A and B are shown apart, each in its own frame.
Chain A
């Protein structure tokens, strides 16, 4: 009876080890803190109405940023644990983690960083910026947008759920290769948590992909042909086209692994005719395009930033777009390079090696295009430009390592070594993460209404880049010394330990960089009056998003501008600015909680699948279906703002803007000044017991 009701759940699933207790307590405390703050400030209704049920892509974008930022810290904590273990675990010492625990940590680290940090930040940027760049007010389907976001949240909860219930995550590596991930070798719930956290957030991503493709192809401003779109929109379009092509492959593959584990099927098992190589092929057919999905928007960001800060239009726009499309198309033809060592034979290996090299060509074209853009430009070295230069320094060297790995016989020695680990971290950190940081620094004034502190931004950049080289160059070297990845322990005679220690120190330097980024944001908030963006166009930008206020009103544009060229806003400025607005009625989508409810039921069903609670799984599925039926048969999902109301809103906004004090011309706060301000504030709070008035 208990089994029917609770499936595999029992008392043993509750936390009883130091890290599960610690993790559960940490999350519970965080949740408690949030509840207390919201109750004290009476903000529950505000949170629900203004943020959680919002379909405004600007708000959804900010929520993606916040969650992704939080997950960056969570995944970074995993990284520190990995660094520390490998720095300690040489010879007689086995570090402080058991082998199984260590394997769970790097698995979680990989999943969190790829699915919840990188994808989260990318979706945040695309949500906020693309509609502004193409002159749209919202995405094609506001409901799918909020649903996609809440499915992502479901995945975030699921990947952390094991702390409270189950006590284990997958210990298989971030892609859970079969047959290691089959029940025979992974009997616990860890792999099931892995399957479902990826499955629900993956479906959310697919819905987002469909939505963004629809939006970019069907909702551009009048006159904006494809060849006039900004580069970030192109990067996002290519990325989302790849999402809709390959995420269904992931959905199907996870489904098959689930069937093996839940229903005892034999797709990838060692016995009964299963074929584990099939899993490797399928998962990498998704897995390789995934990394390009992450990096293409970053390429788009860099093209925008280089052009804006060189005060020059992008050189060879057509080649750059062709480069993006080239990467997109060829990304689908290289997946086997992840398992040259599985033994497919020379012809197959050589073919995929060639295809992998082919991808390096459009990528190089992009780099040359950026050089040509800077040539005869007038370059300002703002923080975004620094991140671009940092990207060039790291990504190109990581790309070289990649081409080396693309040579099958070389890969026979380098596969699964720390050389490989260093390569892909270079690409993801140097390419995707630096691109995200660049984009956030660039568009922050648009999003928040004030720009970020440049001084502390520069410090954070230098700590990141120095830390990056100190952390990852030793890993390249360790790979050449024959060090395999994912080892929880190694012989002292290998001589690897000093390099692991050096890598750990690099990790600490990176953590200082991360801390400085947090400081940068806080310092900017403190100084926000003098950093305020009053024009909506702080960088003298070239694309349409700079034509709106900072931050934009919820309808983005009162009147959607007509576009005649590339660099639409630059052209508009050359011709004397935006024309006098002729207000029209605007139709906007209503907020909805439907996304939350559908995602909640999907989460319940997934949880039930993890623990084999059949009745709950059925209830979850039924709930999803019912909520979808209610939502899709709801015919009243939009409302109209009349032209008169728009005019009033615009007038009110402009009046407020004119009345605001102009920013004082003062220097950006430095680090020492920041520390002084924080210490003074803290002392003031304590001495005068200020919490009584909060």
Chain B
């Protein structure tokens, strides 16, 4: 079929493509400006480590992929039909080194990544304590429909849709859910996410390094109120944290069984709430409720996730 090839057609096309990519990049950069690029705006130790891993992986992959793409597009251009300068050999038998090369290059790349990824995965395992020698501050989390309940067992206070923690202090979140589908507990500025499931306790360890207010949300769909299931995580100095705990203990509200039942009722956009005291063993009751009938004796051998 007839194909008109304008002079310098390829040059123009390549130029246009570069221009398009450049404009795309510039527009996006402008739109991003001034906002919380949460995954790169790390305010906690774990998030910072995860961020570096993301960047490292991207750099390694791009260093192999970009040259490959360049070679591919260059080859396609050079051996185009209209280029009489290029040799054409329809029965070319490839170089004996080709097959080992095309298997070894990607294997080497993946090997490098795997060698970094394996120890990183162990280092950044959410259940792993930040510092083996320091007992973390425990905060128990119950995801319900559609709000987050935080119980501080050591301080005997509780909050809804708000959590405060001291900077430079290892914190361990004990995650579970009640009367709700699976959710995912996520404060991207501080660390990666972890699922909350009924009858299970997942542990997420993190440590904030910069004071501030950080958005938290559910990263897993759990019903109509999913998008509104947001909370604020406030990292503050130790002194401010202690003061806040004392303040909360003055709250008129108490998280007794009745208040908890009210929380279980589906609701969206709950404003932050503060409870001066919690029913003892509430969290454990919530978790154990899924192990066996509430009246009978608990079941043996239940593969429950720790």
Contact = CB atoms under 8 A, between A and B. Distances in A.
Query: Within 8 Å by CB, do A and B touch in the complex?
Result: yes
A376 B78 CA distance: 9
Q: Which of A178, A375, A668 has the most chain B CB atoms inside 10 A of its CB? A: A375
A361 B219 contact: no
A346 B118 CA distance: 8
A319 B186 CA distance: 43
A354 to B, nearest CB: 5
B117 A354 contact: yes
B100 to A, nearest CB: 10
A408 B80 CA distance: 42
A482 B103 contact: no
A502 B68 CA distance: 30
B18 interface: no
A523 to B, nearest CB: 14
A270 B290 contact: yes
Contact of B58 (A378, A381, A404, A490): A404
Contact of B71 (A100, A343, A371): A371
Nearest to B58: A404
Q: Which of B27, B86, B226 has the most chain A CB atoms inside 10 A of its CB? A: B226
B72 A370 contact: yes
Nearest to B179: A270
A270 B199 contact: yes
B47 interface: yes
Query: Shortest 9 CB-CB distances between A and B: which pairs?
Result: A412-B192, A482-B38, A495-B35, A364-B106, A368-B102, A180-B181, A409-B124, A346-B125, A482-B188
Interface stretch (B48-56, B156-164, B238-246): B48-56
B11 interface: no
22 contacts: A171-B223, A185-B181, A270-B199, A311-B88, A343-B127, A346-B121, A365-B106, A376-B92, A379-B81, A385-B76, A392-B73, A400-B65, A403-B61, A409-B49, A412-B124, A414-B39, A416-B184, A416-B220, A473-B28, A477-B32, A494-B36, A495-B32
B39 A408 contact: no
A369 interface: yes
B88 A378 contact: yes
Q: Which of B57, B58, B76, B223 has the most chain A CB atoms inside 10 A of its CB? A: B76
B226 A486 contact: yes
Interface string A258-301: 00000000000011010111000000000000000000000000
A612 interface: no
Given A312-B90, A350-B118, A466-B20, 4 more contacts: A100-B224, A375-B79, A415-B193, A502-B28
Interface string B211-243: 000010111111111111010000000000000
A614 interface: no
Contact of B120 (A385, A396, A409, A665): A409
B81 A408 contact: no
Q: Give the interface residue-count category, chain A.
A: 35 or more
B126 interface: yes
A477 to B, nearest CB: 6
Given A350-B121, A409-B192, A173 B290 contact: no
Interface of B: 1-3, 20-21, 24, 27-28, 31-32, 34-40, 47, 49-51, 53-54, 57-58, 61-62, 65, 68-69, 71-73, 75-76, 79-81, 86-92, 94, 98-99, 101-103, 105-107, 110, 113-114, 117-118, 120-128, 179-182, 184, 186, 188-189, 191-195, 197-200, 202, 215, 217-228, 230, 290, 299, 302-303, 305
Interface of A is mostly: helix
Given A100-B224, A354-B117, A495-B35, A415 B184 contact: yes
B127 A498 contact: no
Nearest to B27: A502
A480 B37 contact: yes
A360 B110 contact: yes
Contacts of A482: 36-39, 188-189, 215
A488 B227 contact: yes
Interface in A438-466: 451, 454, 466
A430 interface: no
A643 interface: no
A499 interface: yes
Interface string A347-372: 10110011001101100110111111
A376 B31 CA distance: 44
Contacts of B98: 315-316, 368, 372
Q: Which of A277, A410, A491 has the most chain B CB atoms inside 10 A of its CB? A: A410
Contacts of A349: 121, 125
A270 B145 CA distance: 14
Given A313-B91, A404-B61, A481-B35, A172 B221 contact: yes
A585 interface: no
Contacts of B189: 482
B161 to A, nearest CB: 14
B68 A396 contact: yes
Contacts of B225: 99
Interface in A375-408: 375-381, 385, 389, 392-393, 396-397, 400, 403-404, 406-408
A261 to B, nearest CB: 15
A667 interface: yes
A99 B226 contact: yes
A667 B31 CA distance: 44
A316 B226 contact: no
A379 B90 CA distance: 11
Contact of A276 (B69, B197, B302): B197
Contact of A357 (B110, B184, B198): B110
A357 B28 CA distance: 30
Nearest to A358: B110
A349 B121 CA distance: 7
B28 A173 contact: no
Interface string A310-335: 11110110110000000000000000
B76 A407 contact: no
Contact of B121 (A185, A271, A353, A381): A353
Contacts of B61: 400, 403-404
Nearest to A417: B219
Contacts of B2: 665, 667
A469 B198 CA distance: 40
Given A345-B127, A374-B75, A477-B28, A484 B99 contact: no
